[in-house]
Amino acid sequence: MNFQTLYEAQKNKVYNLALQYVQNREEAEEITQDVFMVIYKKMDAFRHEADVSTWIYRITINKSIDHLRTRQRKQKLVSLLQVIGIRPDEMDPPDFDHPGVKLEQKERMQEIFKAINALPERQKTVLLLNKIEKVPLSEIALIMDLSPKAVESLLMRAKAGLENKLKENEGI
């Protein structure tokens, strides 16, 4: 079976499966393209130990899951930027490994994470759990064995500490 025939026979199945995962047409189309790029590159290596459609579904599932993970990382990063007062439209959420990201954006993100890591451990924990992982304060209180008021106080101090550390770095 040649690539074009395989593409015509499987493209709707790949697209529909990707769409079930990401629930967004444009993203499903992007995943479909990625899947067929992998198939095109690895078609000669396929050993026919399983049905070709099984192989294609596995590639589609893996690409869809990878896409969701990437989306989730970007959403967490946007949330973090909002916490520290940077509007997401001011800065595209960078992927540290992406070669197209501007050097200054990489440096800014490194500064942010350096500042977060410099916070006292409990403040850092509350900030990450609440603002990145979206864990409610009441649950954080249980996790950390603290009162809800203590968690609120830690979160307020973490935000202020992060803001101060970032201002200090800008002043250097």
54 — pLDDT class (breaks 50, 70, 90): confident
pLDDT (average), residues 35-64: 85
Where is pLDDT greater, at 168 or 81? 168
* pLDDT reported for residue 171: 66
Amino acid at 50: A
Chain Cα centroid distance, residue 80: 12
Report how far residue 125's alpha carbon sits from residue 118's, in angstroms, rounded to the nearest whole number.
12
Which has more pLDDT, 162 or 77? 162
Residue 146 in tokens:
């603290």
Residue 50: its pLDDT value, please? 67
Domains for the chain: give ranges and CATH numbers.
3-81 (1.10.1740.10), 94-171 (1.10.10.10)
At residue 9, does pLDDT exceed 60? yes
- Taking the C-alpha atoms of residue 71 and residue 89, their distance in angstroms, rounded to an integer, is 16
pLDDT exceeds cutoff 80 at 56: yes
Burial of 126 (0-12, 13-18, 19+ CB in 10 A): buried
Among 2, 68, 73, 75, residue whose Cα is nearest residue 31: 68
CB atoms within 10 A of CB 31: 25
* 28 or 130, higher pLDDT: 28
**Lowest mean pLDDT, pick from 7-21, 39-53, 91-105, 107-121:** 91-105
Per residue in 81-115, pLDDT tens? 777 666 655 444 444 444 444 566 667 777 877 88
Where does residue 23 fall: left (phi above 0), alpha (psi -120 to 50 degrees), or beta otherwise?
A: left
CA separation for the pair 108, 45 (Å, rounded): 42
